[in-house]
Amino acid sequence: MSVITSFSSHRRTDVLVLTPWLAPIVWNDTYNLAVLNAQFHQRNVCVGITIFATKKRKMKGNSRIYTVFVPTFIETGEKYFMVGHKVNYYVFTDRVSDIPIMEMAEGRQMRVLRVPTYQRWQDVSMRRMEMLRDYSHQRFRGEVDYLVCVDVDMRFSDEVGVEILSDLFGTLHPGMYGAKREHYTYERNPQSEAYIPFDEGDFYYAGGYFGGNIEEIYKLTNFCHDAMMADKDKNIEAVWHDESYLNKYFLYHKPTKVLSPEYLWYNGFGTPAFLRRKRFLAVWKNHQEIRN
Does residue 216 touch Mn ion according to CB under 5 A? no
Residue 55 within binding range of ligand UDP, rule CB under 6 A: yes
72/242 Cα distance (integer angstroms): 25
* Residues whose CB falls within 8 Å of the CB of residue 112, separated by 6 or more in sequence, listed in order: 91, 93, 96, 99
Phi, psi angles (nearest 5°) of residue 2: -80, 130
From 187, 216, 243, 262, active-site residue: 243
Name which of residues 72 to 91 contact ligand UDP (CB under 6 A): none
Scan residues 95-124 and list those touching ligand UDP (CB under 6 A). 121, 124
Binding of ligand UDP by 127 (CB under 6 A)? no
Distance CA 280, CA 193 (A): 30
CA distance 112 to 250: 29
Rounded to a whole number of angstroms, the minimum distance from the CB of residue 40 to Mn ion is: 28
Q: Which is nearer to ligand UDP, 171 or 256 (CB)?
A: 171
265 binds ligand UDP (CB under 6 A): no
Quick one: which of 78, 94, 153, 163 contacts Mn ion (CB under 5 A)?
153
- Contact between residue 157 and residue 189 where contact means Cβ atoms under 8 Å apart: no
Size of the site for ligand UDP (CB under 6 A): 13
- Could you tell me which of 163, 174, 166, 173 has the C-alpha nearest to residue 147? 166
What's the length of the chain?
292
Please report which helix (H) or strand (E) contains residue 73, including its range. helix 70-80
Residues in region 140-199 near ligand UDP by CB under 6 A: 151-153
Tell the smallest beta-carbon distance from residue 112 to ligand UDP (Å): 13
Give the shortest CB-199-to-ligand UDP separation in angstroms: 27
Q: Which of 146, 117, 288 is nearest to 215 (CA)?
A: 146
Instruction: Point out which span in 106-114, 124-132, 145-153, 213-221 binds Mn ion (CB under 5 A).
Output: 145-153
Q: How far is the CB of 86 from ligand UDP (least distance, A)?
A: 23
**243 tagged catalytic:** yes
Residue among 187, 217, 190 at smallest CA distance from 201: 187
- Residue 84 to residues 37, 87, 101, 120, 160, Cα–Cα distance (Å): 9, 9, 21, 38, 12
Using CB under 6 A, pick the residue from 27, 31, 40, 66 that binds ligand UDP: 66
146-150 and 205-213: which strand pairing?
A: antiparallel
CB 84 to ligand UDP: min, Å: 26
For residue 250, give every residue at least 6 positions away whose Cβ sits within 8 Å of its Cβ, in sequence order, or none.
Answer: 170, 202, 203, 205
Nearer to Mn ion among residue 153 and residue 262 (C-beta): 153
Among 94, 151, 231, 237, contact with Mn ion (rule: CB under 5 A): 151
Q: Which residues bind ligand UDP (CB under 6 A)?
A: 51-55, 66, 121, 124-125, 151-153, 208
- Residues annotated as catalytic are 243
Q: Which residues bind Mn ion (CB under 5 A)?
A: 151, 153
